[in-house]
Structure 1
Amino acid sequence: MRSPYERVGILLGVLMGVIIVLKIIFFFSGNSLNESVTKNKVVEIKALLEKEKEVFGKYPDELNIIKRNNPLRNYLLADGWGTTFSYKVIEDTYFLSSAGSDKEINTKDDLNFN
């Protein structure tokens, strides 16, 4: 029969193992989760941009205009990693991108949406 101290030690070892496994799972799923959040935000942003064009005849010059004084839309301005979206109007269209996991624009992990 094991002593109470041995049982506690075994229990703590098992708990530490479970915590490590969960951290590994969350680490590897973190980027895909952030990417999914970003893509969902882009769907909303695109809808608001199209509504702006429909109402005013052009896309807004700056992305923050889509908020239209609605503080509940503040979350739309940053991607899943917390970085502000890059947005440029080019003639009759726009260029929208996320810096991705490295939080730097114009790198290979950028997510571009047109």
Structure 2
Amino acid sequence: MSKALGDGARKARQQAGLTQADVAERIGVATEVYGRLERGLLMPSVPTLRRLCVALRLQADVLLSLGTGIPPPWAEPLPPPEKEGPQMRRLMRHVRKLNPAQLRALSMVAATLLREG
């Protein structure tokens, strides 16, 4: 079952145009842990499985290969935003880790850069 889950997660992640680091961040695990999950070397806890299903927009029975194998239309992974490439996703991972004071400072720097063209 862990191999099927890993294969399904990898396929859904790739279809969504996400990296392992993107999904790992969204579900709250280390990238290395998510990599082991995709390789079928571990099964996630129930809360992590739920977060994975939300992140990949799949039902748990589909991800675990328990259903018909045909996900409902709403469960298909979202296409990646056109302008959000790997560099932007990496930057956003860093931004999400900032505390409120750091976020305000970064916002001021960004506003200054935009004004100066």
TM-score band, normalised by the shorter chain?
under 0.3
Relative to total residues, which structure has the larger strand share, 1 or 2?
Answer: 1
| Greater relative CO (CA pairs within 8 A, separation 6+) | 2
Relative to total residues, which structure has the larger helix share, 1 or 2?
Answer: 2
